[in-house]
Structure 1
């Protein structure tokens, strides 16, 4: 716990306590807008604990900022919070040193990475340095637990957030992935009749991911924990209709020319979102599109889900594949994932891809709902060094990134 003065108030930074803090944290959370242009608000945390969004990580912590007026006997007020987690991820790749006569191969280079999620400060207590104090305190915990880098994701248009991290906290702009969002229609999306979609077991998915994606930037070394999590709805593989599936071993040794893979994470059971600020006319228009799509599905009209009421989403992650037509296979997988989200009564499906990834153009999405994310990174200790990668901050963007759904 730390205490710092701020004008006539004392600011206490301490660890979150669910029994005493939940309701007060929820009030702050509901007063803060999130998402592009500030129109998206976190409606409710369904698991009943604001720390649940990082609880699935190997190491995690949530801090709150509490203010008490100096010299006045008032109940302490929570005015801010921050979540953080630490995990081991791929930051680069190098050639393995094999025995004479063996072919060298690329193997991942790992680093211990911290991630800041859910920094919130009450609108009535901003520009008082509370956000900076929260970031500084959680960075202390990162360093104490051996993290080499810390990073955050924010909307590039969020000036105050970008300024806090890049100017005041020493972070540098690192990657600019695209968040692609698609509404869930009342009608189903087509899946190519030339494609077979099979569901992999967690062990099969782990084998595929470790074999083909472990050198992808940000790939989590504990991918098995992700795939075995109860929020993971499955990993789905799209293969040619004529290809006979005989298990991951045969597939990895002799894959078809074209294939694609995608996993689905159930954010719907963790939190719900709500778009606010829409006019009555827009709400009426959205309802009309749903009615038409429901009664005339053969027209395939694009319909807006009930985004003006609390809605859930599915996060698509682990996207990838191989072959000259693999983006078409990925598009069929997206149709499959959309239809799964429809059955689960989700409002939208979302994914995040590198700005260089060809899937950015292949995955269906609505530009009005999608946006560019900004990832900022900071080196926490100059003593950390790896001759294979050097300073990760100075590396060039790779073609793909592996987005961890636990941080979405």
Structure 2
């Protein structure tokens, strides 16, 4: 079997939106591998993508998966264009009692404020989700939180002024949480978590949780920040997300960051239950229409759509 979808992706090259086909999963029964079945599945889904207007297709596979890398790079003519770090936080209850630093405030943003920050973050990317407003309005989206220093304060009127226009250098960080945990007590749990502190992944989770339900995890996306003290603010959001996950009885917490994303250096490393691996991203042009965008120019750090998981 093979899974795929098509999404609209914005680019800063020409300021236009592009239809991208995304291969989300390819599985062949172990007894029937090395028979060309995987190749036929890839060709079939590429044909479907072209029929539905996709100009490019891309996918991620683990760096250590030699068979998958050979299939896409050697047989299907995909081009390697980036690498991602996938972080999996297991046993989210282990640090549930870690106190929140007294000088840091975490607040939940309204959807409009969250959309504003996400779109501002998009300005730093070669590619971004064109429908982030729809993502943040969908039911599995638990919300977006911002972390800042109490002495700096936080101007909620985000749409009226750009933080970078301020004469004071302020530090802040933000992230959004997508719910992949099965629970009917989502709103209550989030409220309790807030009061207590005053906020291609599926296969990896499945591999690391073979005895557990692989769909039960929180996906963190839109991790971004600015300022001299952004590191400690990203860390505070990480602990907050761990509390949310623990209260929702989630099996894990997952996020992806581009290999060169500066936020990757701020993800806490000193946690025994935190692991990470590299994913290789491949892309291929499947449309014949003329385009002045080059493969190299199109693909930078690709934003991941939480609805894929």
Q: TM-score range by the shorter chain?
A: 0.7 to 0.9
- CA deviation profile, 1:275-305 (whole Å, cap 9, x unmatched): 57xxxxxxxxxxxxxxxxxxxxxxxxxxxxx
- CA deviation profile, 1:143-170 (whole Å, cap 9, x unmatched): 1121111001100111111111111111
Where do 5+ consecutive residues of structure 2 fail to align?
A: 184-201
User: How large is the Cα RMSD of the aligned pairs?
Assistant: 2.6
Conservation of the 8 A alpha-carbon contact between 1:190 and 1:332: no
- For 1:185, which of 74, 93, 98 is the aligned residue? 93
Conservation of the 8 A alpha-carbon contact between 1:307 and 1:347: no
- Does residue 1:395 correspond to 2:305, yes or no? no
Q: Following TM superposition, by how much is the alpha carbon of 1:246 offset from its aligned partner in structure 2, in angstroms?
A: 3.2
- CA deviation profile, 1:292-323 (whole Å, cap 9, x unmatched): xxxxxxxxxxxxxx874336211110011211
Larger RCO, structures 1/2 (Cα 8 Å, 6+ apart) = 2
Conservation of the 8 A alpha-carbon contact between 2:11 and 2:298: no
Structure 1 CA distance for aligned equivalents of residues 148 and 267 of structure 2: 17
- For 2:287, which of 377, 381, 398 is the aligned residue? 381
Written as runs of structure 1 = structure 2, the 5 A alignment for 1:204-353 is 204-242=113-151, 243-250=153-160, 252=162, 257-269=170-182, 274-275=206-207, 308-310=211-213, 312-353=216-257
Q: Following TM superposition, by how much is the alpha carbon of 1:326 offset from its aligned partner in structure 2, in angstroms?
A: 1.5
- CA deviation profile, 1:154-202 (whole Å, cap 9, x unmatched): 0011111111111111101111111112221333244332221111122
SS of the equivalent of 1:360 reads helix
Written as runs of structure 1 = structure 2, the 5 A alignment for 1:87-236 is 87-93=7-13, 108-183=15-90, 184-188=92-96, 189-236=98-145
SS of the equivalent of 2:225 reads strand
Structure 2 CA distance for aligned equivalents of residues 275 and 152 of structure 1: 19
Where do 5+ consecutive residues of structure 1 fail to align?
A: 1-80, 95-107, 277-305
User: If you compute each CA radius of gyration, which structure gives the higher value, 1 or 2?
Assistant: 1
SS of the equivalent of 1:262 reads strand
Relative to its length, the structure with more helix (as a share) is 2
Structure 2 CA distance for aligned equivalents of residues 266 and 370 of structure 1: 20
Structure 1 CA distance for aligned equivalents of residues 39 and 137 of structure 2: 36
Q: Following TM superposition, by how much is the alpha carbon of 1:109 offset from its aligned partner in structure 2, in angstroms?
A: 4.2
Question: Relative to structure 1, is the Cα distance of residues 375 and 197 closer, same or farther in structure 2, using a 3 angstrom cutoff?
Answer: same
Question: Relative to structure 1, is the Cα distance of residues 92 and 234 closer, same or farther in structure 2, using a 3 angstrom cutoff?
Answer: same
Q: Following TM superposition, by how much is the alpha carbon of 1:268 offset from its aligned partner in structure 2, in angstroms?
A: 2.2
Q: Following TM superposition, by how much is the alpha carbon of 1:336 offset from its aligned partner in structure 2, in angstroms?
A: 0.8
Structure 2 CA distance for aligned equivalents of residues 359 and 211 of structure 1: 16
Structure 2 CA distance for aligned equivalents of residues 333 and 180 of structure 1: 15
Written as runs of structure 1 = structure 2, the 5 A alignment for 1:55-70 is none
SS of the equivalent of 1:246 reads coil
Structure 1 CA distance for aligned equivalents of residues 207 and 39 of structure 2: 28
Between stretches 358-367 and 171-180, larger displacement belongs to: 358-367
TM-score by length of 2: 0.82
